[in-house]
Amino acid sequence: MGGSFWDWVGEHCEQITSDPIRGLMHAVFTVYLGLWYTITSRWPFGTHIYDKDWDLLIILDACRVDVLEDVADEYDFIETVESRWSIGSHSHEWLAKTFSEKYSDEIANTAYISGNGHTHETFIEKDHPPDETVPFCWPKWQTVGTDDFGQLDMLWETAHQDKLGVPPRAITDRTVEIARESDYDRLIAHYMQPHIPYIAGALAEDRTPTDVEAKGWKLLESEGANYNEVWQLYEENLRLVLNEVELLLENVDAENALVTADHGNAFGEYSIYGHPEGMLLPCVKKIPWVESDATNRETYESTTDHSHNGTNKTDIEDHLEDLGYL
């Protein structure tokens, strides 16, 4: 939304009138956000993926370090779970800071397969953070556009399923296809799990997600769900995508494969829920870091076409609504 002092004043007068404490806290937070982006749009804080050596980068959206540690023993490709500070605590922030003109040569040799709809506002609409209304902000964004990628495949346009988002198999299918048919220096597979909706049970039982599965941590914030139930669903959603990662690593070649996340997710720590932008809380700002490799054993062949040849594309608002943003 950017900096607009009078819009900010009007918005927070209403918030403070209805809930003085929360309204004042949010006003302070948005002042901080204006300063945060003024600085970090120029000098990002955190580990930049293009400063690291990898052929295949696998993004698990909203994956916490601790939950990956909890299930690591179930997967042979995970030897050690390390952690790094992400350059973003929200997908929009991460995208805007990651795909910078500073790394234009590397990006030009990258194929990016993404189930994340924030690619639309970042690369097509050229809409940069902040997403909140702030009283001031003087950022210097140098984010690339769609034509600057070797290949940008916004899979949410063609693989989105109503109430489910983009199932992980679609990302696996398209990544395997591109890896076998092209020769990019770098390949990024951006899975949307374990981000809400928590779809492991719905996919297994061929049904629509329940209200708790669809809203997850959002119901914790409103005290409409049990913490243990939501945490278990989140963990099962992580297992769902890790099974796909395991399959992917058997069907592409990569000397250096890196499994990480764009950001983590809060479940009530210090009364924070989700993954707000500009958030320094470790469970949100810290991301898992798993180094592995991949060998194409040809154990899988995709039979589904997720290319952009068809005319039926998902509306961006429908996609973001199923992810809990609208």
For the segment 228-261, what is each residue's pLDDT rounded down to a tens digit? 999 999 999 999 999 999 999 999 999 999 999 9
Q: How far apart are the C-alpha atoms of 98 and 104, rounded to whole Å? A: 11
CA 88-308-214 angle, 5° bins:
50
**Whole-number pLDDT of residue 307:** 66
**Whole-number pLDDT of residue 4:** 83
Q: Is 297:251 a contact under the CB 8 Å cutoff?
A: yes
**Whole-number pLDDT of residue 218:** 94
Residue 113 parent element (H or E): strand 110-114
For the segment 78-114, what is each residue's pLDDT rounded down to a tens digit? 999 999 999 999 999 999 999 999 999 999 999 999 9
Residue with tokens 């000098």, as numbered in its chain: 43
Q: How far apart are the C-alpha atoms of 246 and 293, rounded to whole Å? A: 11
H helix intervals, the chain: 5-18, 20-40, 65-71, 91-98, 104-108, 118-119, 156-159, 168-181, 200-205, 211-215, 217-221, 227-249, 282-285, 316-322
Q: Is 205:195 a contact under the CB 8 Å cutoff?
A: no
What backbone phi and psi angles, to 5 degrees, belong to 227? -60, -50
**Whole-number pLDDT of residue 304:** 76
Sequence-distant (6+) residues with CB within 8 A of 70 are: 235
**Whole-number pLDDT of residue 292:** 98
Nearest to 154 by CA among 174, 168, 169: 174
Q: How far apart are the C-alpha atoms of 326 and 320, rounded to whole Å? A: 6
Mean pLDDT by 10 residues, the chain (326 residues): 82 90 93 97 97 98 98 98 98 98 98 97 96 95 98 95 96 97 97 98 97 96 92 98 98 98 97 96 98 97 71 72 70
Counting every residue written for the chain, the total comes to 326
Q: How far apart are the C-alpha atoms of 8 and 130, rounded to whole Å? A: 13
**CB count in 10 Å sphere of residue 140:** 10
Sequence-distant (6+) residues with CB within 8 A of 169 are: 244, 304
**Whole-number pLDDT of residue 255:** 97
**Whole-number pLDDT of residue 2:** 64
Nearest to 275 by CA among 260, 261, 285, 289: 285
**Whole-number pLDDT of residue 315:** 77
